[in-house]
Structure 1
Amino acid sequence: MGFRPRMSMLVLTLFEMFFSLGATTKNATFDQNYYVTWGQNRILFFKHEQEVQLSLDQSSGAGFGSRSYYESGFFQMRIKLPDKDSGGVVTAFYLHSNVGIHDELDFEFLGNRPGKPIVLQTNVFAHGLGGREQRIRLWFDPSEDFHYYKLLWNQHQIVFFVDNMPIRVYKNRVVHGVAGYPHRPMQVLVSLWDGSNWATDGGKTKANWTQAPFQAHFQDFNINGCRSNPHSPNKDCYSTKYWWNNRNYLQLNSHQMRELAAVRRKYMTYDYCTDKNRLYYPLAMGFRPRMSMLVLTLFEMFFSLGATTKNATFDQNYYVTWGQNRILFFKHGQEVQLSLDQSSGAGFGSRSYYESGFFQMRIKLPDKDSGGVVTAFYLHSNVGIHDELDFEFLGNRPGKPIVLQTNVFAHGLGGREQRIRLWFDPSEDFHYYKLLWNQHQIVFFVDNMPIRVYKNRVVHGVAGYPHRPMQVLVSLWDGSNWATDGGKTKANWTQAPFQAHFQDFNINGCRSNPHSPNKDCYSTKYWWNNRNYLQLNSHQMRELAAVRRKYMTYDYCTDKNRYPIAPVECHDHEP
């Protein structure tokens, strides 16, 4: 379990000073470090933005997130939970990677009926794998007053605290063969949401909406963390210039170890490590009717409709997620420019999550020597198990073609890359990039040309099809370490800033909630779920075959070095 030298009273004193410092740092206001991510009309501010109230009713909850991402640090929040009959209600304070492979660190407070204790669940996701839940009964009523909930995260350990009491330690044991320790840049997030389908008594106890609105209160918006970028991690974040990486914080001292043991003995009600009924997969194991011309006409009408819907402005459907000072707006919010320099790129995301639909964006890529530069238009689940659908444009040197890479993540598993050379210069003018997503297929389009189909083949034994609510995201970032020539070609910063332009902010999708999916999103009342869109027609199948034959440069299905045995979905090849 690792080497733990006996720690002196001096180190104990230093650790106590550290937590005291965390609690007494000069208060930041909400707006300095955080912004509202969803449920804008269910958030109230008090005490000159030193306190925030989130509300939950049957229509929606609310949430907020940090303006920056962090790669190590000490994170805390003073929280007072809903004081009513709160069964089914979840209050969450957590860190989440959002971009790429899923890392996450969770405090989740699972509400209960009056007279029954609120349960605190902690969880750790590393390299896409979660399922590491531990639950404790708190030794006080967390709805009566504010208490601190704290996370220490460095390269050696992650420690969860309630006030100053350690309740869980997750060690970095890569040297012991454990595949994965959270290390990706993460955003700090807070939310109040309906977890009726699972949170209390395994979903038997639902939210009592006669008691709504449920209200949780939050204080202390200071963040002590090493800022980073989800697309370009900060190699300095494990430096000892940050006090939480100092040798004094590499393990608990003997006093804290006794406190932790006492909490586990007295208050722990569930530990995934002792659950013999659950099958836990270590990451190291891995996973391994012809349509008529009428349907073709309908499909063409569908894409025409997608392109000519009355234009929405950026602010109607999207908000800036990072790099605020590298975004410009043109044409009354009908066009957006993202810029990338050596310091940072930028990105934006949809205000809502969606569980099916037709998603499109008109994009004009950077027109300079763009090797190492990545422009991305994608859908991402963000919360829980990782689903994702990607368009990633991999820049190149002048005279060499920009490569379009698509990828599909389902149930936490990606690695399904396909790459094509585009048959035009995407930096010269705007082109449409479109995604159709329903319960039968996912279709990637360039303008109206299908370039990839990923079918729902669960009946053929394929483990996973993207079905979780996802946010629409766009970003421009530095992919020098992998994007062009496998990372050999780096971004040429003498050509910075690199600029990409985006138009058409309409979204045709079934709105959903990442914490409470919308069971109606596969209904045929949404036209993209109609029988006409369950598969390509014969004309489109020929177009797809021609694209694969003429322009495809890489297909994971044929990569024998990565997959000596082709993934299951490749046996019945697309489409």
Structure 2
Amino acid sequence: MARRSLALLLASSLALMAAAVASADSWLYDKFNTDGTVRTQYDASGQEVAMLSLDRSSGAGFNSKEQYLYGEFSVQMKLIPGNSAGTVSCFYLSSGDGDGHDEIDMEFMGNASGQPVVLNTNVWASGDGKKEHQFDLWFDPSADYHTYTIIWNPTNILFKVDGDVIRCFKRYADLPYPSARPMALHATLWDGSYWATEKGKVPVDWSAAPFVVSYRGYSANACVSGGACGGGGDDGWMSKQPDDAEWGTVRWAESNYMRYNYCDDGWRFPQGLPPECSRS
């Protein structure tokens, strides 16, 4: 009986290892460079999981080896459990750090225990930012993986959570829009105490470190800078605009979970709100 149990256990382990090998030529190391403490493991389904770790000495991240000009980018994330105040976990595109850079952000601002995690979405174009929409997540993002998606095309940028569109940033011909600078894909975990939780009022509790965020299921169907478009799936994202049902989920998110809308912040824009705020 004991030998049979051992044999079954060994067979199960070998099967799991085989599934892991079959499921992933490592998406992380094939497609990204890493920085800081980044570990990988395979979960029970054979998916490769990249785990970013934050402690007092260092954050962590990975950034794509390729740069893109338009695409659909998606990943599953499981955030920090418990008190994650002051931490920031990110999934974003950026053309660099210069004054005229472009960027598309999904930033998860950690919470004090029992408070919602805030998702900050933002768009920078030619160095023009300050276009945040922030939402209280309506689920516990540390209890399981959830899917976060950015669709970036010549007409709009869509932010999706578990398949639901929660924001659409539209392009206007006379206003800045990220369309000329190729961008790399980044995931980072860092100390945002000066800004993240209640505008910096709640710092990181380093006694709970290290903090870990897990990423899996990454996919990109995109146009590589200087190369072809593709990467799996169809290219419907290139012309994608929200349909009536998706505008419905945008209104639902805004009505029930929006914490901050830059178009409502007259104090921040004493000379007048950005021009897109008055357009449909």
TM range (shorter): 0.7 to 0.9
Correspondence for 1:395 = 110
> 446, 464, 478: which one pairs with 2:161?
446
Deviation at 1:529, TM superposition (A): 5.2
Deviations, residues 239-280 of structure 1 (Å, cap 9, x unaligned): xxxxxxxxxxxxxxxxxxxxxxxxxxxxxxxxxxxxxxxxxx
Structure 1 unpaired stretches of 5+: 1-309
Q: 2:84 aligns with which of 370, 392, 412?
A: 370
Q: Matches of residues 518-537 of structure 1 in structure 2 within 5 Å?
A: 527-528=235-236, 530-531=238-239, 533=240, 535-537=241-243
Which of these residues, 110, 125, 137, is aligned with residue 410 of structure 1?
A: 125
1:466 Cα deviation from its structure 2 partner: 4.1
Structure 2 CA distance for aligned equivalents of residues 408 and 449 of structure 1:
19
- 1:311: Cα distance to partner? 5.5
Aligned to 2:170: 455
Unaligned runs of 5+ in 2: 1-22
Q: Secondary structure at the match of 1:444?
A: strand
Q: Helix, strand or coil for the counterpart of 1:319? A: strand
Structure 1 residue 528, shift from structure 2 partner = 3.5
User: Residue 246 of structure 2 aligns with which residue?
Assistant: 540
1:328 Cα offset (Å) = 1.1
Q: Quick check: 2:221–2:229 contact (8 Å CA) kept in 1?
A: no
Aligned residue pairs, count? 250
Check the 8 A contact 2:81/2:143 in 1, yes or no.
yes
Assess, with a 3 A threshold, how the Cα gap between structure 1 residues 388 and 466 changes in structure 2: closer, same or farther: farther
Runs of 4+ off more than 6 Å: none
Distance 1:500 1:382 in 2: 23
Q: In structure 2, what is the Cα distance between the partners aligned to 1:345 and 1:375?
A: 10
SS of the counterpart of 1:473?
Answer: strand
* Partners of 1:312 and 1:356 in 2: CA distance: 25
Structure 1 residue aligned with 2:4: none
* Preserved CA contact (<8 Å) 2:53 2:60: yes
1:567 aligns with 2:278: no
- For the residue of structure 1 that corresponds to 2:255, the secondary structure is helix
* Identity among equivalent pairs (%): 38
Q: Deviations over 1:193-247 (max 9, x none)?
A: xxxxxxxxxxxxxxxxxxxxxxxxxxxxxxxxxxxxxxxxxxxxxxxxxxxxxxx
Which residue pairs with 1:488 in the alignment?
Answer: 201
CA distance in 2, matches of 1:368, 1:353: 35
* Distance in structure 2 (CA, Å) of the matches to 1:504 and 1:388: 22
**In the alignment, what sits opposite 1:503?**
216
Rounded to whole Å, the distance in 2 between the matches of 1:425 and 1:537 is 28
Letter in 2 for 1:566: L
Amino acid at match of 2:132: E
Query: TM (normalized to structure 2)?
Result: 0.84
CA-CA distance at 1:412 after TM superposition: 1.0
Q: Helix, strand or coil for the counterpart of 2:247?
A: helix
Return the alpha-carbon distance in structure 2 between the equivalents of residues 508 and 394 of structure 1: 27
CA distances 1:520-557 after superposition (whole Å, capped 9, x unpaired): 769xxx714554x1x21111111111110110010001
Deviation per residue, 1:59-82 (Å, 9 max, x gap): xxxxxxxxxxxxxxxxxxxxxxxx
Q: Does 1:436 align with 2:147?
A: no
Other-structure match for 1:349: 63
SS of the residue aligned with 1:494? helix
Match of 1:358 among 72, 75, 86: 72
Counterpart CA distance in 2 for 1:333 and 1:543 is 30
CA contact (8 A) 2:92 2:106 kept: yes
In 2: Cα distance, 1:316 partner to 1:537 partner: 35
Structure 1 residues 346, 453: CA separation in 2 closer, same or farther (over 3 Å shift)? same
Change (3 A) 1:455 1:521: farther
C-alpha deviations, 1:480-500, integer Å up to 9, x for none? 011001111000011111110
CA distance in 2, matches of 1:495, 1:466: 41
Distance in 2 between residues matched to 1:507 and 1:312, nearest whole Å: 15
Determine the C-alpha separation between the residues in 2 that align with 1:560 and 1:486.
18
Indicate if the aligned counterparts of 1:481 and 1:490 stay in contact, CA closer than 8 A. yes
CA contact (8 A) 2:104 2:122 kept: yes
Q: 1: distance between equivalents of 2:251 and 2:262?
A: 17
Q: What pairs with 1:169-188 in structure 2 (closer than 5 Å)?
A: none
Matched, 1:330 2:38: no
Greater relative contact order (CA < 8 Å, ≥ 6 in sequence): 2
Contact 1:368 1:495 (8 Å CA) reproduced: no
1:393 and 1:505 mapped to 2: Cα distance?
17
The answer to whether residue 53 in structure 2 is matched with residue 339 in structure 1 is: yes
Residue aligning to 1:474: 187
